[in-house]
Amino acid sequence: MADILFPYLGVDEFFRFPDTESADEYGIVAAGGNLSPGMLLSAYRQGLFPWYSEGEPILWWSPDPRFVLFPDNLHISRSMIRTFKRNRFRYTIDTSFEKVIRECGAVERKGQDATWITGDMIEGYVTLFKLGFVHSVEVWLDGELVGGLYGVSLGSLFFGESMFHLVPDASKAGYILFVRALQRHRFTLVDCQVFTPHLASLGAQNISRTEFMKNLKKGLKRNTLSGRWSGLIDLEQERINITG
């Protein structure tokens, strides 16, 4: 694993990381650097993402296998269709990004330290949100934020970073509607990074790093839908489409 001193990059600058095939047995390609806009976007364009804990150097990952969801493979269970028919939740997009990322960092996860969403991580992704490359889904119940997710969009790919829920089915409902919307806008892949049973139940699967990189290269040929998506994606309409 190379420990590299990275420059701080603006959004239009690019940094060449070590090849993903140089990753160690855990999937770590490099360590160190910063979370500047150009550095983060360079990493995603090369198949890497940051993941580290407070007090550690930034670690840049490219796991093998890679856990992904092809939007056409999205599975919606009968129980979730019933949830959509009950119409308990209200859904928004790109309206409360900082609340979502902070909730993702605060929620307790079984067998996992949630502190990997550090203050620097929040600052880095808030900057990318303001630049139009990061998006959030918000799920509301009685005026309170009870679920959500966020991630990076480049080309025809969405790189999911984290999700949270405070009541059952909140994040799952938001995720399903969001993937349906991505499918409508001809997105080709949602990166889920590493296996979770929760996302596997929705149709996500492991693919090899080689296959992931092929999908990445192809997806980046598409123009990026940057900017706020609140006027582009209607999650309530997706709910109506599911329930008929």
80-108 core/surface letters (b: 16 or more CB in 10 A; e: else)? beebbeeebbebbbbebbeebbebbbebe
pLDDT at 224 over 80: yes
Task: Write down the pLDDT at residue 55.
Answer: 87
Task: Write down the pLDDT at residue 100.
Answer: 98
Instruction: Write out the H or E segment, with its range, that includes residue 216.
Output: helix 209-219
Specify which residues 207 forms β-bridges with: 66
The third-level CATH classification (topology) of the domain covering 2-62 is Alpha-Beta Plaits (3.30.70)
Least confident stretch, 1-10, 97-106, 171-180: 1-10
Give the list of residues 6+ apart from residue 163 with CB closer than 8 angstroms, or none.
104, 147, 148, 149, 150, 171, 174, 175
Residue ranges of the chain that CATH labels 3.30.70.3550? 2-62
CATH class of 67-243: alpha beta
Report the pLDDT averaged over residues 147-172.
97
Task: Write down the pLDDT at residue 107.
Answer: 78
Name the pLDDT band for 114 (thresholds 50, 70, 90): very low
What type of residue sits at position 154?
Answer: L
Please give the model's pTM, rounded to 2 decimal places: 0.95
What percentage of residues in the chain have a pLDDT greater than 90? Answer: 91
Name the pLDDT band for 7 (thresholds 50, 70, 90): confident
Report the pLDDT averaged over residues 24-33.
94
Give the list of residues 6+ apart from residue 228 with CB closer than 8 angstroms, or none.
94, 132
Report the pLDDT averaged over residues 172-191.
98
Residue ranges of the chain that CATH labels 3.40.630.70? 67-243
- CA distances to 39, 59, 160, 177 from 33, in Å: 8, 9, 22, 35
Residue 138 has a CB neighbour count (10 Å cut-off) of: 25
Task: Write down the pLDDT at residue 76.
Answer: 98
